[in-house]
Chains A and B, each alone.
Chain A
Amino acid sequence: GESVGLHLPTLSVQEGDNSIINCAYSNSASDYFIWYKQESGKGPQFIIDIRSNMDKRQGQRVTVLLNKTVKHLSLQIAATQPGDSAVYFCAENRAGGGNKLTFGTGTQLKVEL
């Protein structure tokens, strides 16, 4: 079936290093993608989004890359900080489906001091 999945359930990085979180999607009709951060006990928080007519978008310390050829999405976090420790979800919006997001299962990012 169609799904949004993540390659790694847990990612551990040293403080100050760059983090890369990957996401695969299977629906070629998806045209909008979002990354969310969820801290324990809280609701998801928007990080960055990208539309399918782009292959890269940058924010503050974060970059999202979209490779439509292989249906792959990644989130890069520069100079990872302890406050970045959280679960990260990618979500896709399928064209023509309204704003119904399909979420992946999440990657736990752990920042080691």
Chain B
Amino acid sequence: NAGVTQTPKFQVLKTGQSMTLQCAQDMNHNSMYWYRQDPGMGLRLIYYSASEGTTDKGEVPNGYNVSRLNKREFSLRLESAAPSQTSVYFCASSANTYNEQFFGPGTRLTVL
């Protein structure tokens, strides 16, 4: 039981490049989330998916898109990366609303 897994662990992009961050969970959770964490700050919600087939914007969605591919997988796409998107990205999942969220190990992204 791996919990929440994220790939890649590290990534360096040039401004304007695109990439997709992958997230998968094996806990049969309904809800999945993408957060970003900037130095010295808490996590901010980018997008979330309350259940398979639905996605909604969080606090900081601009510059990102998401896909809930199936119940297990939730990907985050940067279409045209900007230096302001340099951050650590965390994926999380929860069984349902008002359940604890389980976090993955994070993807450290640098945009030059």
A residues within 8 Å of B by Cβ? 4, 32, 34, 36, 41-46, 49, 51, 89, 91, 93, 98-106
Contacts and interface: CB of A to CB of B under 8 A. Distances in A.
B27 to A, nearest CB: 13
A93 B98 contact: yes
Contacts of B90: 43-44
Interface string B87-100: 00010101011111
A42 B43 contact: no
Describe A's contact surface by its main secondary structure.
Answer: strand
Interface residues of B, number: 28
Contacts of A44: 43, 90, 103
A43 B103 contact: yes
Given A44-B43, A44-B90, A105-B40, A99 B106 contact: no
